[in-house]
Amino acid sequence: MSILDRTVPPASKLPEPARLTSFRTRRQDTLRRVGFPPHAVTLLGLLLASGCTSQGAEGPPPGKPSGTALTLVVGSRQPARAYGVAALRLDPGSGTLEFVDNLDGLESPTFVAATDDPELFVVASEVSAGKGGAIATLRLRDGTLERLGTMGSGGLGPCHLGFEAKTRTVYAAHYSDGIVSALPIDGDGLPGARLASVAGSGSGPVAKRQDGPHAHAAVPSPDGRWLLTADLGTDRVDVYRINPRNGSIGEPPTSTLRLPGGTGPRHLAFAPGGDRVGITGELAGTVTIARFDPTAGTLDILGASPTFSNPPKVPNYVSTLRFAADGRTLYVGNRGDDSIAQLRIDAATGLPTLVTTWPTGGLFPWDFALTPDGRWMVVANYGSDEVRVLRVDATSGALTITGTNWPIAKPTSVTIRP
């Protein structure tokens, strides 16, 4: 939910394929506002999408679809009257996308988290300024998205969710007031009232963005014992012990990792194995690797790297990060440079080294996700109103733009499930 200091280009300034995507999306939104029934809008979307992909030399590889299709659920920054959550199907053999369903009624459903139930998803709804946030649960069954329940999130501007399976608890990071809250999810998939919350304090040296705490990520450890939270406003990552009985958390944190002033930690992710953590620095344009001790619940910095080799010509805000399955390759999003950085992680020291950056085929990559087999990356290009599929080279980790994309207005989150 970070404030954008860079204005996303209007449709007239976008590359031709992105301009067409933005046009089609706005046309569908107009039909919704004037009262067209959902099935008619969906049908039009399918017809428009049939001509929205730019097939070129780097289009999807030939061959028949293979393997079991993967499910994508995409969140976006759209009003409640729009279809802000979309479900797509990705063919793991060809990398092509197919529409499944979409859902309206949620205000700015900007983040979607998977759960231990492959049909159940949790969504953060930013609602509106000063009116708190909400957590909604959705079920995707037989090609239909259904909202099961909604509960107040316990803070202002929820922007990130983490789900812990052992206690069936969802943790919500709130950008606007710095609160991290814990809410239960019952056996029917319904969210319950807030169990607990912790509130950050302090500020940072970047006046416009670090005037106070701005929690931006809440990620449980792989063993379910700890919750790691990143606060963009105070340049710290806190580690809280999770109550194994009910998933609650409480002050004070077990430990705190303090990053250099002005880093602006946004997202974090565990490497395979769970003993290392990557932390993106939105404001500094960096990614930091830290060693995690799962017994003591502590973090120690191993090293950091910029996410670009030459300073971008426009302001750049680092977004999210994903480790490849081998733990040796790390990808980081650059919003502004409009690229995905590829970094190599030294197996012995954990030090990150920038390899190169790859274009995303669109603008302002807010989020991205890797398929379980590592063959494809799906990028939410916020500035060009699309999700786009990139091919991942199995040997080098290089990314190649494919001809497959799908029009979604202001996408901010991508979740992939088998």
CATH of the domain at 78: 2.130.10.10
pLDDT of residue 376: 98
pLDDT at 60 over 80: no
Q: Region of 29 please: left (phi>0), alpha (psi -120 to 50) or beta.
A: alpha
| Distance from the first to the final alpha carbon of the chain | 27
Residue 286 near residue 266 (C-beta atoms within 8 A): no
CA dist., res. 156 & res. 108, Å (int): 13
Q: What is the total count of domains within the chain? A: 1
pLDDT of residue 305: 98
Residues 6+ apart with CB under 8 A from 7: none
42 lies in a domain? no
- For the chain, give the mean pLDDT: 88
Say what the alpha-carbon torsion angle 215, 163, 125, 206 is, to the nearest 10 degrees.
20
Q: Please give the structure tokens belonging to residue 258.
A: 């303090």
Beta bridge partners of 303: 289
Residue 325 near residue 333 (C-beta atoms within 8 A): no
Burial class (CB in 10 A: 0-12, 13-18, 19+), 298: middle
Question: How many angstroms separate the Cα of 92 from the Cα of each of 237, 270, 284, 372, 386?
Answer: 35, 24, 35, 9, 19
38-49 and 16-33 helices, crossing angle to 10°:
170
36 lies in a domain? no
212 lies in a domain? yes
Q: Please give the structure tokens belonging to residue 149.
A: 């329940």
pLDDT at 64 over 80: no
Using the 8-state DSSP alphabet, how is residue 22 labeled? H
Q: Which pLDDT band, with edges at 50, 70 and 90, does 130 fall under?
A: low
8 lies in a domain? no
- 4-8, 23-27, 82-86, 160-164 — which is least confidently predicted? 4-8
pLDDT at 143 over 50: yes
18 lies in a domain? no
pLDDT of residue 13: 35
pLDDT of residue 248: 98
Q: What is the CA radius of gyration of the chain?
A: 20
14 lies in a domain? no
The model scores a pTM over 0.75: yes
Tens of pLDDT along 270-312? Answer: 999 999 999 999 999 999 999 999 999 999 999 999 999 888 8
Q: Which pLDDT band, with edges at 50, 70 and 90, does 67 fall under?
A: low
- 12-21, 40-49, 202-211, 317-326 — which is least confidently predicted? 12-21
Enclosing domain of residue 122: 66-417
- Classified as helix, coil or strand, 387 is strand
pLDDT of residue 338: 97
pLDDT of residue 408: 97
39 lies in a domain? no
pLDDT of residue 23: 38
Tens of pLDDT along 365-397? Answer: 999 999 999 999 999 999 999 999 999 999 999
Give the pLDDT mean for 161-182.
98
pLDDT at 155 over 80: yes
Residue 282 near residue 319 (C-beta atoms within 8 A): yes
Cβ–Cβ contacts within 10 Å for residue 62, how many? 6
pLDDT of residue 22: 41
CA dist., res. 195 & res. 166, Å (int): 15
Tens of pLDDT along 8-53? Answer: 443 333 333 343 344 344 445 434 433 334 444 444 454 444 434 4
109 lies in a domain? yes
Q: Is-cis flag, bond preceding 252, omega within 30?
A: yes
